[in-house]
Chains A and B, each alone.
Chain A
Amino acid sequence: MTDYTFPSAPLQKGVLSDLATTLRETRLLWGPQAGTDGVCRILPLSEDQWPTLALTTLLPLKKLLLPPREELWNYNAGDFSPLPTAEPFAVLGVPLCDLQAAWYLDQVFADDEVYKARRARSFLVGMPCEPGKNCHCDGNLMPLAGDLFIGQERVWALSPAGHAMLQACACNLSENLPLSWPEEIAARRHAVTEKVFHASAESTIWSEEAQHCLSCGACSAVCPTCYCFDMLDDAVLDGSVTRSRAWDNCFFAEHGKIAGGHDFRSGRISRLRFRMEHKQLGFGPLRGQNSCVGCGRCREACPVDIDLDRIAERLSEEARP
């Protein structure tokens, strides 16, 4: 069981406006905003905007923690110089599933100085959500990251920084209380085990599912815990070059290919299996940690209704004696 008990206090009058003022003084504020085009995005908030609910944005929180394109260094006349770190920022209205995803990214990039520098300048504020039809979050999946959680009537300090922020706003944290998760959703989840996954190597379920795949990569792009990246160079006429890391995608044809043309993951079946393995079983030190936080974005985004959860259910069923 993951413990989501944190120091908490009733949300007294004035605390929110104090918080807003304090945060705005030092940081750029971001939050979820539903656009007139029907798309919900994390965008900079204007002076009078303060969300009270978390929304499932099209792109998750990772777009600010691991930007789609992030400059790493600049080359000029024989020297490689690191680039300045981002300005401090805060993100409001983050759903619990995305706070879990932030914890997961923190583990993946635990030794990454560029990620850590950006992360150290972030301040994450969770808020309650209204689960959608594609949601299948799990309050026992993994710990969560973040600094504050602001509910309708209470506030929680999730980190020392959050704690200090509340104290600065004269909010005394009186007792430890658990955060509450959306109910009866986790029961709908399905995931493969190591055994089921490996036994399924020759299963026709993979070809049945993969034959519809367009290799568009939308599922990975919107996934809060997908983090593959490539390295790209921008050259300027004066001879200087900037190298960035940019989101990559395991459904793209080049992903497993080496110079000379050999492809270690040719075809959509092996790529779909790769994504499934990454999401539900994990890579490297995080093997054994299911990283699907159940936000439902991939289900929503897939143009041909491929659903890892359904594939896991089918494979598990097929493996049953």
Chain B
Amino acid sequence: MSDALQPVPAVIARIVPMVADNHIFSFLPGTPLAMTPGQFVEVSIPGVGSFPVSSCDLVHAGLVASCIRKAGRVTEALYRLGEGDVVGLRGPFGNGFPMEAFAGQDALLIAGGLGMAPLRGVLQALLAERQRKGRIILLYGSREPGSLLFFDELVELSRQGLITLRFSVDFAETLPGPYDRVLCKIGLVSELLDDLDLAPRRTVAAVCGPPALYRCVLEELSLMGIPAARIYATLERRMRCGIGECCHCVAGGRFICRDGPVFTLEQLRKMAGAI
């Protein structure tokens, strides 16, 4: 094993602003990184610190793309950098989503807030399967219409009939358009499940969002008849090493960074305090 604590230099190749304080940063590492959706890298800004982040896309032309929210000291420093500047990347770490589990099945993706970012990587992987059978359903809840990530892209995919899409927002004075084939509700993302046309026995679910989302959605999916071994969630934690050593991310006795961050509901039920 090579030294997992040693970063490789990566050039910020592209910065694409999304919604307020959420940009997509595309990094070009000096040594190519092979990443699957749900895995993560540690981004180091020398002199400031580091943070873990998953990718929001497949690796194209060696570029690792991450949707990064300006949320703390280190990401604030990243937002002060520009295209052409160098950061360090370590990884990839973690297990990622088992994409083979979705083969021939309906895929139900449920995202809350910034949780859309890693699920967008899953979505891209699903769409990239040329002969894909099975529907793709995306339920995406956010604070307000202006904070919905990848909004135009998702609406376009829905319009092309490639995905079934529903949005929810916590509050809004006016709902985002267009409305054809796109339903937007005011309320919790879990409410989007209420009248969903779903075949639970041939559905695999992937969920990503804040802790509150997991507490209400995961068991509900199980009640709807999706087997607990086919309900996947990716957990967010403080992570400093990425290799199961530093102990910050531990929940239910397991290293979220190394054993996860993607777990099935079946596993999570045995991990006290994980959700």
Q: Which residues of A contact B (CB under 8 A)?
A: 72-73, 75, 78-80, 82, 108-109, 111-114, 198, 201, 227-231, 233, 235, 241, 243, 245, 248, 250, 254-260, 262, 264, 270, 274, 277-278, 281-285, 287
Complex alpha-carbon distance, A258 and B88, angstroms: 20
Shortest C-beta distance, B256 to chain A (Å), equals 10
Say whether A73 contacts B6, CB under 8 Å.
yes
A-B contact pairs, 6 of them (CB 8 A): A73-B6, A230-B240, A230-B246, A235-B46, A264-B251, A270-B273
Contact of A111 with B72 at beta-carbon distance under 8 Å, contacts A248-B248, A258-B236, A262-B210 already known = no
Minimal Cβ-Cβ distance residue in B for A262:
B211
Complex alpha-carbon distance, A108 and B244, angstroms: 8
Residues of B within 8 A of A241 (CB): 46-47
Say whether A278 contacts B237, CB under 8 Å.
no
Residue B193 CB within 8 A of the other chain? no
Residues of A within 8 A of B241 (CB): 229, 231, 245
Say whether A256 contacts B238, CB under 8 Å.
yes
Within 8 A of A (CB), among B217-245: 236-238, 240-241, 243-245
Say whether A227 contacts B9, CB under 8 Å.
no
Residues of B within 8 A of A258 (CB): 236-238
A-B pairs, 8 with minimum CB distance: A259-B72, A235-B47, A241-B46, A75-B46, A259-B71, A113-B3, A228-B247, A241-B47
Complex alpha-carbon distance, A230 and B8, angstroms: 20
Say whether B2 contacts A281, CB under 8 Å.
no
Shortest C-beta distance, B231 to chain A (Å), equals 21
The stretch of B48-56, B59-67, B119-127, B157-165 that contacts the partner chain = B48-56
Say whether A278 contacts B247, CB under 8 Å.
yes
Residue B44 CB within 8 A of the other chain? yes
Complex alpha-carbon distance, A304 and B237, angstroms: 31
Say whether A78 contacts B3, CB under 8 Å.
no
Q: Say what secondary structure dominates the interface of chain A.
A: mixed
Residues of A within 8 A of B47 (CB): 75, 233, 235, 241
Residues of A within 8 A of B181 (CB): none
Interface size in chain B (residues, C-beta < 8 A): 46
Complex alpha-carbon distance, A80 and B47, angstroms: 12
Say whether A113 contacts B246, CB under 8 Å.
no
Within 8 A of A (CB), among B29-50: 44, 46-50
Say whether B237 contacts A112, CB under 8 Å.
no
Residues of A within 8 A of B88 (CB): 75, 80
Say whether B75 contacts A287, CB under 8 Å.
no
Not counting A80-B46, A113-B5, A262-B211, a sample of 8 additional A-B residue pairs whose C-beta atoms are within 8 angstroms of each other reads: A75-B47, A79-B9, A80-B9, A228-B248, A248-B246, A270-B273, A281-B253, A284-B244
Residue B144 CB within 8 A of the other chain? no
Minimal Cβ-Cβ distance residue in B for A198:
B272
Complex alpha-carbon distance, A227 and B69, angstroms: 30
Complex alpha-carbon distance, A111 and B69, angstroms: 32
Say whether B9 contacts A283, CB under 8 Å.
no
Contact of A255 with B238 at beta-carbon distance under 8 Å, contacts A80-B7, A114-B5, A248-B248 already known = yes
Shortest C-beta distance, B44 to chain A (Å), equals 7
Residues of B within 8 A of A80 (CB): 6-9, 44, 46, 88
Complex alpha-carbon distance, A255 and B247, angstroms: 9
Residues of A within 8 A of B237 (CB): 256, 258, 264
Complex alpha-carbon distance, A258 and B4, angstroms: 22
Say whether A283 contacts B255, CB under 8 Å.
yes
Complex alpha-carbon distance, A46 and B44, angstroms: 42
Shortest C-beta distance, A25 to chain B (Å), equals 30
Contact of A243 with B3 at beta-carbon distance under 8 Å, contacts A250-B247, A262-B210, A264-B237 already known = no
Complex alpha-carbon distance, A198 and B273, angstroms: 10
Complex alpha-carbon distance, A75 and B245, angstroms: 23
Within 8 A of A (CB), among B182-198: none
Residues of B within 8 A of A109 (CB): 245
Say whether A72 contacts B245, CB under 8 Å.
no
Complex alpha-carbon distance, A248 and B88, angstroms: 22
